[in-house]
Structure 1
């Protein structure tokens, strides 16, 4: 089925669904960018704008703790309690013929992290975000679906360990994170509703005000510190690595605003546990994207490219874990790594793989003004993928995987205090990220910290 056929099918199914809500005249349907798992489509009906959220395939709903009906019920409850959640208009049914999902009224504001981080009053937005989280965490469980799961911390770690083994069980930095989590499981806290994915990219803002919170598919009952920590991960701070609270400000201001809005006092040690937990979780989530593509569950280009973002999380995880290493090791410096000029071979004769990838990327750049909406996003993803191939086609690369080392870490026979493991993993993390995402903000921070280079 071509793209135009797919859009016609969606329009027909949406018309049927929206008729149940009393609306007609579907128009302007277009795919929105972003979304690591679910699709989002914007359209108009009856003179107003709406967003369809749906699974790209029914296989994506397999193994999930609940379906879109429960997610929609959670959003309705949050919206009714004054949380900046959208209004759910109608849920899809099988007879609509367009899969699983629901339609929401479109909210004002932008989800673009770059635009949000450029707003004039980030401190104001941070206070509103903290207050919104406090309201989410105060939602009455009796008003929420009974099928929402409650997280068991140890079971969560065990599940991630299985994901790790399923993905090859050979990434040492992730193994260190899993071992650390196993050794530092906190006592269970009184569970509250967690949004589960509260971060830049899933919030809407306009004129330094919070206008919406999206993507509730990971909502569950658990430790409030998990929600507080997730948005503070380096990967979700984008260009503002220097602002540890969601890229908007200082952690102390974030915690103070959360507590002032009715949130319980923040425990800094529990906050760190969940920073490490969620960094491991997202590293494994990125790895899993490749399996979606390989099995045919979703052959979108984003899947294979997101899988390479594992290297972002590995570097962030090592920065977190090395805080527990002996001071002498933490303060040690790596030898300055050779730059691309000294790493590149002088090629003669036929073009190499990296040169071919670069040539294709340069040609794709000429098409930018000829495509729009999701196709333009896909074009940018394709150019990023070709850049990875070009950078990987160079000598002197250290191995990224090491199943034997992972086994030693899990057995407790080696850790960051042993031999020169910390600096060896630092070298690997820098090299891998320089290949995959050389513009990742934490890379420059880590390089300066570990080598002394600006």
Structure 2
């Protein structure tokens, strides 16, 4: 038994008061923000599978949720009927697994973006995913943003446009990384000057896209990876899955590489009984490409700093140039 397996077995035994046997701890591929494993074991002889999410040595974004905060949000989302894995246990005690972690039920499904957009066995799922995702993100946005148990979620200051708040955070990241790039500077300025009037604030998933959902042949099974959640303009979540990188090579299919965005937006409008200005979603897509481009530089810095040595993190640095080309193209199209 590995040291991790032994520590988990002891922790779960203490939490449940039952006889726990950990049979396997299997790493899950991907996950640039957290270390993720499938835990296979039994409780008093009854088999179970859970997912472990544990912090890495460094953060992609400084204001990401802690594991206890993410756990509390998962509890609220689960209670609101959002399709999320049921959260089970959480700890920030460094004496248990060295770094903060949470455990939740294992949900069978495919999350790897290229497989979701290409796998033949998911062809039927791709036909229904846009509407399913529109309905689910509508549920998220109907959750109470003033829930006292979620007071830790970052929100814009009063009378501050959520887009301007997002740009404040982006500028802080640019300054921390020492980025000096005319395309980045131009896009930040353009976003400052063209921010749409805000909608009423909602809870935002913050990374809602293909790649952060679990998919089966019938469609959506669960929404995962909530560590970037905050309070903001709901159109941020509507535009993010349309960002070019989240199409996984299927660039002609605007929404996540599986469809145009109309089925998704129409389902959202229907379930929230609202009308969404497509031009405002276009703005948030431009800002989304800009933010992801800078985040790619932050990911590369995690590798270059030596805190989290990773070929994946290093390779993401080159994607920043691709994002620059995309948001400059979109800004030109906006003007035209």
Matches within 5 A, 1:264-283: 264-283=274-293
Q: Does 1:40 align with 2:31?
A: no
What's the Cα RMSD here? 2.1
Which stretch shifts more, 27-36 or 256-265?
Answer: 256-265
**2:134 alignment partner, one of 119, 130, 134:** 130
2:150 corresponds to:
145
**2: distance between equivalents of 1:228 and 1:313?**
18
**2:10 alignment partner, one of 2, 16, 31:** 16
Q: Does 1:293 align with 2:287?
A: no
Provide TM-score, normalisation by structure 1. Answer: 0.66
Measure how far apart 1:324 and its partner are: 4.0
Tell whether the 8 Å contact from 1:194 to 1:222 is kept in structure 2 after alignment: yes
Q: 1:177-227 deviations in whole A, cap 9, x for unaligned?
A: 111111112333211111110111110111141001110001111111000
Matches within 5 A, 1:228-377: 228-262=238-272, 264-325=274-335
TM-aligned CA distance change 1:267 to 1:62, over 3 Å: closer
Q: 1:275-306 deviations in whole A, cap 9, x for unaligned?
A: 11111111111101122223332122222112
Tell whether the 8 Å contact from 2:60 to 2:298 is kept in structure 1 after alignment: no
Provide TM-score, normalisation by structure 2. Answer: 0.88
2:159 corresponds to:
none
Q: 1:349-377 deviations in whole A, cap 9, x for unaligned?
A: xxxxxxxxxxxxxxxxxxxxxxxxxxxxx
Give structure 1 stretches of 5+ with no counterpart: 1-6, 328-454
Segments ≥4 residues shifted beyond 6 Å = none
Measure how far apart 1:88 and its partner are: 0.9
Measure how far apart 1:270 and its partner are: 1.6
**2: distance between equivalents of 1:62 and 1:286?**
11
2:190 corresponds to:
180
Q: 1:41-75 deviations in whole A, cap 9, x for unaligned?
A: 11212122111001112x43994354111110101
Tell whether the 8 Å contact from 2:33 to 2:60 is kept in structure 1 after alignment: no
1:56 corresponds to:
56
Which stretch shifts more, 223-232 or 14-23?
Answer: 14-23
Measure how far apart 1:107 and its partner are: 0.3
Q: Which has the higher strand share?
A: 2
1:359 corresponds to:
none
**1: distance between equivalents of 2:187 and 2:138?**
28
Tell whether the 8 Å contact from 2:164 to 2:195 is kept in structure 1 after alignment: yes
Give structure 2 stretches of 5+ with no counterpart: 157-161
Tell whether the 8 Å contact from 1:15 to 1:25 is kept in structure 2 after alignment: yes
- Say which one has the larger Rg: 1
